[in-house]
């Protein structure tokens, strides 16, 4: 681990890994976050039916503010990590290290995906 904040180190990795058209695209970053959140929910036992029910619930409500919703994501991620017996900071560090080692694979996947699609491939 370094003295540099995790968020700054992730930014450096994203900028090194992706072209500006991908790392500055809010829709792309949002879709990749949602994909990872769904994968974590699935790995934690969430059913497809519950996921779709929650999508309907969320999109029937007024849109939130990114700053407040980010705080909510961090709190609920910490709580879920506790239940799953995962140290979220260690998991984040491991994944960032793994991603630095896989830049070529990640770039190839990015290049092969359909432009403008929420789907990763």
Residue pLDDT, tens place only, 33-43: 999 999 999 99
The residue among 1 and 88 whose pLDDT is bigger is: 88
Give Cβ neighbours of residue 73 (< 8 Å, ≥ 6 apart): 37
Residue pLDDT, tens place only, 64-108: 999 999 999 999 999 999 999 999 999 999 999 999 999 999 888
The mean pLDDT value for 14-43 works out to 92
Instruction: Tell me what pLDDT residue 112 has.
Output: 80
Q: Is residue 27 predicted with pLDDT exceeding 60?
A: yes
Instruction: Tell me what pLDDT residue 8 has.
Output: 96
Q: Is residue 121 predicted with pLDDT exceeding 70?
A: no
Q: Is residue 1 predicted with pLDDT exceeding 60?
A: no
Residue pLDDT, tens place only, 106-119: 888 877 877 777 77
């Amino acid at each position: 681990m370094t003295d540099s904040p995790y968020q700054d180190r992730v930014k450096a990795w994203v900028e090194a890994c992706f072209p500006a058209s991908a790392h500055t695209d809010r829709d792309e970053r949002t879709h990749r976050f949602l994909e990872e959140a769904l994968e974590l929910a699935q790995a934690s036992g969430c059913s497809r039916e519950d996921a779709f029910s929650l999508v309907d619930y969320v999109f029937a409500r007024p849109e939130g503010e990114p700053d407040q919703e980010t705080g909510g994501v961090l709190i609920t991620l910490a709580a879920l990590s506790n239940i799953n017996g995962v140290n979220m900071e260690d998991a984040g560090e491991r994944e960032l290290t793994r991603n630095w080692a896989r830049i070529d694979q990640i770039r190839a996947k990015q290049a092969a995906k359909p432009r403008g699609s929420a789907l990763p491939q």
